[in-house]
Amino acid sequence: MPVSVTKDVEKLKDTSVASPQETAATHSGASTPQGVVDVSSVRKFLMARGNSAVADRGFRWLMIACAMSIFAIVALIASELIARSQLSIAKFGIGFFFKQAWNPVTGDYGALTFIYGTLASSIVALIIAVPLSIGVSVFITEMSPKFLRGPLSFLTELLAAIPSVVYGLWAVFVLVPILRDDVNPVLMKTLGWTGFFAPPNFGQGVMTAGVILAIMILPIISSLTREVMTAVPGSQREAVLALGATRWEMIRMGVLRNARIGIVGSIILGLGRALGETMAVTMVIGNRPEIVKSLLAPGYSMASVIANEFTEASDSLYLSALVEIGLALFLVTIIVNGLARLLVWAVTRGASARVA
């Protein structure tokens, strides 16, 4: 034991104050065992060496500052977007979000086309990615052999580390030809009557953007869903199997039902990634500012138009309109996440009511 620590212990033993129990024991004739220091004496000794009130108060205010910084960051982003888009807001008003026009020559701008392209590609991505992600998570968690579970989990998480521009290049050289030559003709032949898969078939369009977004958000949804499913107690599985359920019924009722709130949360994060994705979508969506029912036709997203035309903004109104599109993307993200939070709250409330 170091010399300084030994001296502190000896000082503590010398300056220790008897506790009420020791006092009573002394009065009754009993003695305190040698070398035993009561808790009150330890606390008094530590308090005598230094007061921790300043450190506690400082730590408390530091944590409050960290929490408040989130509100400050959001407020700064919103205030800057609003300030920079004042020119466009003053000229077009709320109608900016409901106009399809986008003509820098005449100075007529509207964000509806880009909002449609962003939401359409994100919805397509969710339709493809959610079932696939849940299927991958179920297989890895419940059905995969042990020797295969590690490599599959590693490869799934590796997809999230691939840069966006690499996904875009792969989509241009691989995905676009596959969709244009093999997949889209089948969709036009079988589902063309719906109007969602009507010509033209250029290979680049909202459908292609949705597919590449689905691949990009798959590791996010799958990894979080797998973690949530792993957190479900094994007793839930055993109880369902003990009642005579099949393996599929056990997964459906014992695992997925208990993990549904976490799965919704993972879908929210995946949707947030899809809404804000820029490079990969820009390379395959076609970048045409028009609203067409067919998903095979070219489109435009809010993030893409900002990335493509921000450096080309030749006047203040043009730049202000692009910043207001960024404000629209900000608002759409808040609204979508708010609706998702309401969904989670509704599911949680329903579960609580059933438990009660």
pLDDT for the residue 21: 47
What CATH number does domain 88-355 carry, 3.30.565.10, 1.10.3720.10, 1.10.287.70, 1.10.10.10?
Answer: 1.10.3720.10
Chunked mean pLDDT (size 10), the chain, 356 residues: 48 46 46 54 62 76 92 90 90 86 85 89 92 91 85 86 90 91 90 86 89 92 86 83 84 84 83 86 88 88 89 85 89 76 62 43
pLDDT for the residue 18: 46
pTM for the structure as a whole: 0.76
Compute the CA torsion angle 23, 29, 33, 36 (nearest 10 deg). 0
pLDDT for the residue 16: 45
Residue boundaries of the structural domains of the chain: 3-49, 53-84, 88-355
The structure tokens listed for 207 are 């459908």
User: Long-range contacts made by residues 334-338, C-beta under 8 angstroms, separation at least 24?
Assistant: 336/271, 336/272, 336/275, 337/268, 337/272
pLDDT for the residue 26: 45
User: Could you tell me whether strands 102-103 and 108-109 are parallel, antiparallel, or unpaired per DSSP bridges?
Assistant: antiparallel
pLDDT for the residue 223: 86
